[in-house]
Structures are given as structure tokens and as C-alpha cells.
Structure 1
């Protein structure tokens, strides 16, 4: 989360898998209170659904238009193998579900489908305030130059540390940003809270069922009720949510299940955030508990692989500790001797410090099984005197480019395109968590020290991102603080009982996750009676983050959506052992899914 702007990582393979056009004019769709799909992006269908902006006061006239996208099932909805709709949220918070489904929908669909037995349509959406949904959270409306200037200023601030100059600059920079966002977005900020998004999702589930019923009647089916019972509409004709949430999407799922347990059909939560830490604590104290251990394991893998495979290893190294000490010492020295670099187009000079490099390393941990190899190579090259590859990766991560790129035709500084920014991210984390806008610098120094005690290498980075809330005074119109739990699920998933989930929840995690450790999945599962836990034996953010989708994971997940059955005991699936293992080459498509997933990751940068 450092420079407070979401990561942007694209992989061309996923654009090919999506099989659609990469542009679409959302203004061509008239927002409607009814769900009306229009063809979009080639083989997809899109809609703009009008919903109340203020759910607790539904009689109000203000609305939000939610951009929805659907990847149709491989069979028609009246086919015996049609399994209904599965909603997907990629996390963020503030991530575009539309973009995620475009780039990763087909692969995720292939994971949940059971050939010749069950086929699902996939639905996602841009949450209120995000992307193509309107109104959008935008702290720099129609002023791209000002936004680019702020990016450079925030990058200059870097991660917090205890030095007076660094801390004060970062602290007051964050306060200024919070005040600006409040000034420009007062009309939307109170309404982008997670409880409201969960209520939006409930409305979307109802609208999907309503549309399907209309289409069924139109097709003059002889047994409307029977034809309606397609997974997302239960035997009692109550529409229920089928859901796959990743990272922050697990918070959204936990909110939904806790608020509306009787509307849960199937729910998979992958890369689990501790919802109590999110809603009630100082914030993110349960995130990086395994990050330092991951680095230790990565250096062990490097040592074992040898210098001919891992360039960070030197022939004289006696243990992984030698690699670790040398690497971190070199990184720390960059504060006294920063790397001099240029923007990718060579138009501007930039100094890169240790926080920037640690930031890049942490980003690589989100998909460590295949990304850390590249970063290790770039680090080794920089330590030998050639910092250009490393500097280029850092600059691209931060989105630093030619300032003229902020100007459109005629040197105009305005733009109406829904570009992805950190503004919705900050809005969600700051309006949902505990109000810290009145805390002084002493509080934030203590918070930074506490984060540093959890992760020596990355604690300051997490503290820097949370600092965005230092002057965020806007509070949510709907605040839900728990309890985050559900009643015991229905005895028979095919005959769900009222006010109970149709099936137990299913929690997924990689074995080593830099920001949503396995212990979070276990802790949250304990709140939901009968919940299942699956551990993918990989390194990366979410069970799908290791770049390898095991047959074990696919089998458990697809059976769960089909039958509503979770494993009786925690299941461990075989994944990658270390970044230099060749196992991830067996499923390169999974890398594409998680690179798109990490555009919206919880520890947004």
C-alpha cells in the first residue's frame, strides 16, 4: 500500500482468454431500475443498475448506477446443467470487477464448472464509487496534471519511518490528501461503505432472479417454478447469492453473510482478511504476520537453487542468512545513497530509496512463486552496478511517466475516462475502519512502531497506507461492526432453511500469504459453524495467487458450488514449493488470473 495507488499488472494471455473487445462506451447504456443487459466487450453482457444511494433511507431520490458485467454460461439458462450465477469480487478495495471479469472470468469459470454436469454464468460489478459506476470517487476531478503531481509528491514522501523529516512530510501530505478528497467528494463518500455494497449485491441477486423469471415466462415454460431453481434461486424460491470473493472481497462476503445469512447460497472466500481487524481495530494488525517468514523461505529457496539459478546467491555464501543480510544491507544503504533513475521515456529524473525497493519486493510476494524470480534477478543486477532494470520496474509500479501523458488532445488536462485510481481505495478503508482523523502524530508514530514489530521489512509500508486516513473525517451512513458470524447452515443444501445459509461457507488460503495469512482464514471460519478450510500449498496472495491451480483445489471448489459440501477437516492441496520450482509452468493461465486479481489487491500501492 505505499504510494497509495492500485497496482496495474496486465498479462496479454488474459486478454486473449477473455475473448472480447477491450473498449466499451458505458454511456451507451441508460441506467435502469430494472436489470437490462446489452452486448459489450465482444462476448460479454453489460448493464447499469440504478440503486438507492442511501440504503437506510430508501425513500430518498439519490441513486447510484452500478456497472455490471456478465460472462454467459456455456449453456442456456433453461438447460438442465445450468447452475445459475456466481458473483465475483476481486478485492481492492476499490477494484474494478468489470475489468477483473474481462481478464480473468473465463479461467475462474473453468474452475467452478463441471463439464457435462454444471455450467455457471459469472457476474461482477464495479462497486459504488468505482470505475464505471456513478457517481465516482475522484479527488482530482477533471485535473490529471494535479493528480500526477500528487503521485510524485507522495512518492517523494515514501514510506514512514521514525526520522522527523520523513515522518512529518508523510503525515502532513496524507492529511492534505484527505481534506482534498472530502472537499471534492462529499456527495458520495458517506455511501461507499462495505455494508452498502453488500446491500447492493443483495439487490443485484434479486434483479438477476427477477430477470430470469421474466425470461422464463416469456419463453412459455410449462413449469416456471422448477425452471427457476437454478442454484442461485433455492427450492423455497428465495434468491440466494453464489459468490467467490478474493482479498477485500472476503470482507464483503463476510459482511453479506453476517447481515443476510438467509440469502447465502454458496460462498467461497479466498485470501481472507480479518473482518474484526478491518472494522473495529486500529487497522491491519493481522495482515503481514507471515511476510517476513515468506522472505526467509524465499532466501532459503535461493540458496538451495544455487547461483546458476538464483542470481542473488554467491558462491561464497554459507547459508541463506548470507544472502538475506547482504540483500537487506544493500537495500537499507539506498537511503543514504539513492538510486538515480529516469522515467521510462527518459524525460525526468527520479531518486529511488529503500522504501521504493521494499515496495517492489512486497508487490512480488503477492505472486511470489513466479514473480520473485524476476525481482531477485533485478536486485542482483542492481547490486552489481546496473540498477536500470530494477529502477524501471519501480517507476512503472508507481505509474511515473512523462507528465505530458496527463494532457489529452490540445494539451487539455481534463479527461472523462474512468481510469483506475487510489481514491476509491482510500474512501473505503477510511470510512469503514475506526475513525482516526483526530489522532495526532504521536498516535501514528506508535502505530508505525507496532506495524514494524509485526513485519520488520514491510511494516512501515502498511503504516504509510493506513496514514491516508489521518484527516479523513467523513463517516459512513451505514456502519456495521459485526458480529461477523452466521447461524448453522441448512441440513440439506438442496432444501435451504429460512434465515440460514444454504450451505456452510468455504474459506481458501495459500500456505504463505504476505497480507492475508492462513491464520485469518482459520479464525474467520471458526465464526461460521461447519465452515470448510482449504490450504493451497503455495506462496502468494490468495489460494489462486501461487500461479498454479491444483486439481485438488478445483475439485473441492467445483463440488462445493454444485453440492454445497465442504471438507469435514482442513484440506491441504499440493502447490508450488518455491519460486524456482518448475511446477507453475504447468498452468501459466493461473498467473494471468492473479496478475489481474492483484490489480485490485488489498494492500493497494
Structure 2
């Protein structure tokens, strides 16, 4: 646990914060956020919180610096060792799996991806059980209690200890949780408020997830608005013009969309497989990267990343005119260079960790450790045939985000480490203090529909709606909502009728006139993107 001590008076206690993930590192998050509060004008309103509150974060069980760590001794599972194991082991030749390709965009390597996850899951289970000779006897006890409910009980223990401390004696009610949670962090907050409603202090739940869908293992609402969020790229690019947006073409936003559609149609991996193209696998890799990495990741904070996305599209479009055997390798290197440039745009690190996509990485194991153990286990041991209908439903929910949902749920199929402490509801009801929910109008992974639905579960709450694109208020870069959130924490005052906020400048420093939901130009792109679903 790490604490940024209050800078002034009156002292009001602690505000806990969690960045989500699941699997993001809370200690690093607070370190980065503390720097941004000092140097970033968009975060300047949060300095008032730092005056009166200790800002606190922690690494939940198994994550980051928490001990014992759920890292599966990942440093010993290198990519080269894993590939050697796959190529030499009969295990990967005899497992009864159906070979499935498609629908388009699911990729040619689902079977291989699933085999990798079986391998990593078995390695984790062996270590946590101590059967590999290096596992800790305490690791297994930790991993089976690596659940949201266990995290909530940990918070209760911390609050009880704080109430007995000297600092706690200075606070009116030190036993209450003041909390600002983002993304999966809202699941922690919703679970806490439902399990211990009398311990709920001032709690802002930002980038809202639906707790019922979470515990049931249904992830459809995660990416409901991913396509609609992406549709704004074409409008912003058009308004920016050819001098700023290198993917600009034609005389309308829809003309830029048509250029994208033509470009992406050339990455038809299913057709490449059927025709036995030599570069079919590379085509598939490029398509998966463009959709689930290049685009979806850039939708998290589009104010910063859309200009880099435009450069990436221009590179891809030019390369596909006459592709060679090295085209896709060069493109992936170029895309990674753009991602690094975006990360280095300012001197400060982004407050959200970008998870390593290497399936052998330590961070990638933190996700199933929480997500797969915390749901109802509906994915355990499914065959690809059984998963196919669910994959298709994901794809029909979102062209951009559906593949990411497939990859996330694929992790849970072989994950056999279950939790002994799962809270499945009821969620909602009356809390000691009313909660504040926060949603952007277009959020790629926590749709505003979640905010509206979950807010209706609790009594006396308010939903703060930000006319912005991106994931949570962190990336909306709108100072006005931050001021309302600060007022809530300082005075306990919920927004009144002023709970809707017009947009600040977006990508390329451009402000779209009117509302995002009512923009007729966006409606045309949204319709076109929806037509790509399932293809």
C-alpha cells in the first residue's frame, strides 16, 4: 500500500483509488497520478483533494508488489521455451480440440492461442500447488482467495486499522470507505457498497462496469460502444484536414471511412487461408493487431492517440498497395514505434498501465487470476465448438471490440484455479452515503448504458455524464467534471441538474459541435461500422 499524504488542512482522512484492469498496478497508478496532478492542467482541479485527503492505493492480492505474487514464476516461462515446448510436446498434438476458423477476424490461430493458455494455466496451477518444486505454500492460499469479495474484506481490515490509528482519530468517521475506482475498480466499489452498505463513505465509480455481468462471466456490455467511439475518428480526421490528419481523403468524414473499409478488406485472413497464401498467417496477425491493439487501445485515450492512429492507417494503406513477405513485420515494428511515441508524448507516464500483449508475460496472468476466478466459471473447459456461438455474438456486438472479448474469455477456458470467496449479489440498495457514478458518452470498454443501469440499482445516487470519448473521466481531459467530483469528496455534495458536461477540445484540439449521440455525420459512420460486424 502507498499513501500520498495530505498537503494541508482540514484533514479528512483517506481516499482509496484503484485503476482497474483487472490486474493493473495500483501503486504505480498513484505514483503516476501524483505527478500528473502537479504538471497536467487537465488534472489541476484534483489538487484540492490532495490538500485535505491522503490519496491511497494498493496492489490487490497477487498483483504488482503484493506478496505472495500471482506471477506464475513468469520469468522462467520465456517465449522461446514456450515455443519449444509446444513444438516438442505430444500434449499439444493430442488434446481434443476442434479446429475452427472464423468468422473473419477471429484469427487463424485460435487453436494455438488456446493451447498456449492451457500450458500457462497448468504451469500456474503447478506452481501454486507447490508441485513444480519452486512454488510457495502460501501462493495457493492466496490464489484461491484472489477475488473481488476478498479484496473488499481487505479494505474493511485496512479501514478498521486506520480507525484505531492517530490519523484516524482526527477524522469524523474513519471506518467509512472513501473511494475513487475506475473500470474494474468500479466492480470493487459496487461489491463493497453491496456487501457493507453501512461502511460506504464518498465513493465515485468512474467508467462503470455491470457487476451482474461480471460475476456471471458475460462480457457483452464491455464493448457495446467501441464501434461508435471509433466512428468519431473519421469525423475528427475530416475536421482536422489533410494538414493534420495523414489519413484524410475526399470531402467528407464518410469518405475517410470508405478509405478505411477498403484498406481493411485487404486483410481478409480467412480468404488468405482458403487460397493457401504464403502470408496468410501474417495477414491474420496484422488484422488482429489493427483491430484489437492499434484501434481498440487508441480508443482508451483518443485525445492523445488519434493523431498516431491516423499515421498508422496511412502506413498500412501504403504498404498494402504492393505487399511483400516482410511487409507485415515492418508494419508491426512501425506500429510499435507509433505506440512508443504516444507513450513518450509527455514527460509523464500515462496513469493507466498498457498491458504487455505477450501471452507469457507476468501481467497477462494477473487478468485471469482475477477475472476467471471471479466469474461463474461458464468458460471452464469449453471446446472451440461450444465457444463458437459466443464468439460470434461478441463479433456481432462490436467489430472493433469483439476480438478483444474473444481473447479475454479464451484465457478463462483452461483456468482451473477457482476462488473460495465469491460475492454474486444482490448488488445495489441503500448505502450510508449516496454514490457518484461517472460515464463518458462514448467509452470503448465501459459503455454509458452500464452507468445508467448500475446507478439505478442504488438509492439516491447521481450519474455524472461527460460529453467525451475515451475510457473514464481520466482520459476525457475535461476539467469541469473533475471539479464536481472534487466537490463531492470535499463536501459530500452530489451534482444537481448540472450533471452533464459539454465537451472540451478533442483530438487535434478540435471540438465537435453539438452532441456526440445526436451528430448526423457520426450516425452514418456508426451504421457503416455496424454493417462490418460478423464479417
Q: TM-score range by the shorter chain?
A: 0.7 to 0.9
1:475 correspondence with 2:401? no
- 2:212 is matched with 276
- 1:601 is matched with none
* Contact 2:6–2:51 (CA under 8 A) maintained in structure 1: no
Instruction: State the distance in 1 between where 2:491 and 2:374 align.
Output: 34
Q: Secondary structure at the match of 1:380?
A: helix
* Cα offset, 1:313, TM superposition: 1.5
Counterparts of 1:156-235 in structure 2, within 5 Å, are: 161-162=102-103, 165-186=108-129, 187=140, 188-212=142-166, 228-230=169-171, 233-234=172-173
* Cα offset, 1:192, TM superposition: 0.6
Instruction: State the distance in 1 between where 2:312 and 2:305 align.
Output: 11
* Cα offset, 1:302, TM superposition: 1.5
* Contact 1:269–1:507 (CA under 8 A) maintained in structure 2: yes
1:124 correspondence with 2:57? yes
Counterparts of 1:510-529 in structure 2, within 5 Å, are: 510-529=440-459
Instruction: State the distance in 2 between where 1:354 and 1:131 align.
Output: 31
* Contact 1:339–1:353 (CA under 8 A) maintained in structure 2: no
- Deviations 1:280-324 (CA, angstroms, capped at 9, x unpaired): 2x421101111111122211222233222211112xx24333322
Q: Secondary structure at the match of 1:82?
A: coil
Instruction: State the distance in 2 between where 1:131 and 1:530 align.
Output: 35
1:101 correspondence with 2:30? yes
Counterparts in 2 of 1:121 and 1:389: CA distance versus 1, 3 Å: farther
Q: Secondary structure at the match of 2:369?
A: helix
Counterparts in 2 of 1:361 and 1:453: CA distance versus 1, 3 Å: same
- 1:220 is matched with none
1:354 correspondence with 2:287? yes
Counterparts in 2 of 1:99 and 1:151: CA distance versus 1, 3 Å: farther
- Deviations 1:19-52 (CA, angstroms, capped at 9, x unpaired): xxxxxxxxxxxxxxxxxxxxxxxxxxxxxxxxxx
* Contact 1:338–1:352 (CA under 8 A) maintained in structure 2: no
Instruction: State the distance in 2 between where 1:326 and 1:72 align.
Output: 52
1:241 correspondence with 2:177? yes
Instruction: State the distance in 2 between where 1:369 and 1:527 align.
Output: 32
* Contact 1:178–1:469 (CA under 8 A) maintained in structure 2: no
Counterparts in 2 of 1:451 and 1:141: CA distance versus 1, 3 Å: closer
Cα RMSD of the aligned pairs, angstroms, is: 3.2
* Contact 2:240–2:510 (CA under 8 A) maintained in structure 1: no
Instruction: State the distance in 2 between where 1:339 and 1:73 align.
Output: 57
Which has the larger share of strand? 1
Instruction: State the distance in 2 between where 1:361 and 1:148 align.
Output: 31
Q: 1:365 aligns with which of 267, 289, 299?
A: 299
* Cα offset, 1:396, TM superposition: 8.7
Counterparts in 2 of 1:151 and 1:307: CA distance versus 1, 3 Å: farther
- Deviations 1:446-477 (CA, angstroms, capped at 9, x unpaired): 11100011102321221122110001122211
- 2:233 is matched with 298
- Deviations 1:206-246 (CA, angstroms, capped at 9, x unpaired): 22222225xx8xxxxxxxxxxx352xx42xxx611110101
Structure 1 residue ranges without an equivalent (≥5): 1-67, 154-158, 217-227, 341-348, 399-418, 488-499, 585-605
Instruction: State the distance in 2 between where 1:468 and 1:396 align.
Output: 28
Counterparts in 2 of 1:577 and 1:476: CA distance versus 1, 3 Å: same
Instruction: State the distance in 2 between where 1:423 and 1:397 align.
Output: 23
Counterparts of 1:16-415 in structure 2, within 5 Å, are: 68-75=1-8, 79=9, 81-107=10-36, 111-114=45-48, 119-143=52-76, 145-146=78-79, 149=82, 161-162=102-103, 165-186=108-129, 187=140, 188-212=142-166, 228-230=169-171, 233-234=172-173, 239-280=175-216, 282-314=217-249, 317-334=250-267, 335=269, 336=272, 352-358=285-291, 359-385=293-319, 388=330, 391-394=333-336
Which has the larger share of helix? 2
Counterparts of 1:515-594 in structure 2, within 5 Å, are: 515-546=445-476, 548-550=477-479, 552-569=480-497, 571-576=499-504, 578-582=506-510
Instruction: State the distance in 1 between where 2:256 and 2:157 align.
Output: 53
- Deviations 1:331-367 (CA, angstroms, capped at 9, x unpaired): 3423448999xxxxxxxx9994211111211100000
* Cα offset, 1:107, TM superposition: 4.1
Instruction: State the distance in 2 between where 1:456 and 1:148 align.
Output: 34
Instruction: State the distance in 2 between where 1:518 and 1:290 align.
Output: 8
TM-score (norm 2): 0.76
1:507 correspondence with 2:507? no
Instruction: State the distance in 2 between where 1:532 and 1:250 align.
Output: 15
* Contact 1:553–1:573 (CA under 8 A) maintained in structure 2: yes
User: How many correspondences in the alignment?
Assistant: 444
Counterparts in 2 of 1:569 and 1:368: CA distance versus 1, 3 Å: same
TM-score (norm 1): 0.67
Instruction: State the distance in 1 between where 2:2 and 2:241 align.
Output: 47
